[in-house]
């Protein structure tokens, strides 16, 4: 394999996997055949054309769905992202208790709750729809059983029931969204372990973890060029993260910008990206 062929193969990853399977070899042969004899490097024009072509194909994938179907998937992903924070919180605090970094408590329940919610969220991507409903409702029962708040219906149980209902639709969430779901969980668990665990975190590590949410928001906003649905999901997740505590009385107006600013920009992000989604979908 020549260096030019290897470079072309790398750039073809800009296209979806199904497109590469169907047309990848044909495109590679065309590109190599059109390259001047003896060339061993990629031209900037060819590189830009391949990347832009891949983005156009990826942007067209969700145009096969209606706006309503795409919006359902975006809301479903937003609920999954909201639940990912609970998963990370439960598993992170359980790990801290095992490390004796925080007072001892019900570590076993935290692990059970975290894994049950993780199973329900993962099933929304990977399992048959009846399995999703059963696992999500079972996880909701686990969360509701231990809840000591009269507002538990606005917390994890309600979100798990919403997950079960939204996952019953025909279309499934793309597996390409799993990376964001996983990063939220891993990043928050690492934040718990580094900030509250034994030892003192380095300045660079603390800054990286503290700025991870902003980097993820920036990533999904850029991603909206291809697919606006993840950005809608992030906006919904952020808004829910403030609206639910406000409704249950956990926050009050003394929180000021720390409360209202994320609620405002999360809602605004979701609304703006819904307009973008309408342009990317069929009527």
178 and 270 together in one domain: yes
* Average pLDDT of every residue of the chain: 81
At residue 129, the pLDDT reads 92
Question: Of 41, 62, 83, which residue is a domain's last?
Answer: 62
At residue 283, the pLDDT reads 41
Tokens 């990629």 belong to 42
Q: Is pLDDT at 259 greater than 70 in this prediction? A: no
Distance, CA of 111 to CA of 72 (rounded, Å): 30
pTM for the whole thing?
Answer: 0.77
70 and 124 together in one domain: yes
At residue 169, the pLDDT reads 87
169 and 50 together in one domain: no
Question: Of 34, 62, 90, which residue is a domain's last?
Answer: 62
pLDDT tens digit string along 165-187?
A: 999 988 889 888 999 999 999 98
71 and 42 together in one domain: no
139 and 180 together in one domain: yes
228 and 138 together in one domain: yes
Q: Is pLDDT at 202 greater than 70 in this prediction? A: no
Closest of 151, 157, 152, 163 to residue 124, by C-alpha = 163
**Contact (CB, 8 A) for 59 and 227:** yes
At residue 87, the pLDDT reads 95
The token pair at 108 is: 């076993």
pLDDT tens digit string along 134-161?
A: 999 999 998 887 665 555 566 889 899 9
**Contact (CB, 8 A) for 232 and 275:** no
Question: Of 62, 80, 96, which residue is a domain's last?
Answer: 62
180 and 229 together in one domain: yes
Going by pLDDT thresholds of 50, 70 and 90, the confidence category of residue 191 is confident
At residue 279, the pLDDT reads 67
Q: Is pLDDT at 1 greater than 70 in this prediction? A: no
98 and 230 together in one domain: yes
pLDDT tens digit string along 94-121?
A: 888 887 766 666 678 888 999 999 999 9
- The mean per-residue pLDDT over the stretch 255-277 comes to 77
Distance, CA of 11 to CA of 9 (rounded, Å): 5
The 3-class SS string of 128-197 reads CHHHHHHHHHHHHHHHHHHCCCCCHHHCHHHHHHHHHHHCCCCCCCCHHHHHHHHHHHHHHHHHHHHHHC
pLDDT tens digit string along 28-84?
A: 888 777 777 766 677 777 787 787 777 777 666 556 778 888 999 999 999 999 999
Distance, CA of 212 to CA of 114 (rounded, Å): 22
**Domain count for the chain:** 2
Domain that holds residue 205: 65-280
32 and 153 together in one domain: no
């Amino acid at each position: 394999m020549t260096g030019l062929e290897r470079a072309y193969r790398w750039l073809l990853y800009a296209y979806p996997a199904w497109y590469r399977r169907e047309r990848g070899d044909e495109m590679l042969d065309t590109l190599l055949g059109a390259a001047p004899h003896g060339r061993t490097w990629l031209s900037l024009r060819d590189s830009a054309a391949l990347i832009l072509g891949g983005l156009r194909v990826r942007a067209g994938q969700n145009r096969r769905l209606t706006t309503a179907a795409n919006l359902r998937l975006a809301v479903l992903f937003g609920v999954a992202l909201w639940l990912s924070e609970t998963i990370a919180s439960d598993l992170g605090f359980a790990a801290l208790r095992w490390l004796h970094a925080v007072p001892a408590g019900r570590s076993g329940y935290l692990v059970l709750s975290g894994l049950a919610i993780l199973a329900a969220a993962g099933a929304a991507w990977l399992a048959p729809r009846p399995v999703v409903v059963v696992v999500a409702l079972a996880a909701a029962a686990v969360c509701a059983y231990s809840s000591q708040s009269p507002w538990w219906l606005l917390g994890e149980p309600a979100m798990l029931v919403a997950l079960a209902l939204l996952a019953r639709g025909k279309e499934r969430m793309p597996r390409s969204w799993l990376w964001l779901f996983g990063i939220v969980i891993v990043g928050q668990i690492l934040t718990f372990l580094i900030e509250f665990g034994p030892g003192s975190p380095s300045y660079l590590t603390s800054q990286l973890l503290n700025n991870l949410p902003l980097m993820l928001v920036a990533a999904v906003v850029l991603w909206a060029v291809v697919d606006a649905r993840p950005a809608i999901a992030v906006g919904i997740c952020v808004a829910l993260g403030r609206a639910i505590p406000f409704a249950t009385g956990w926050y009050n107006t003394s929180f000021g910008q720390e409360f209202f600013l994320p609620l405002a920009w999360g809602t605004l992000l979701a609304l703006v990206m819904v307009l973008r989604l309408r342009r990317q979908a069929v009527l």
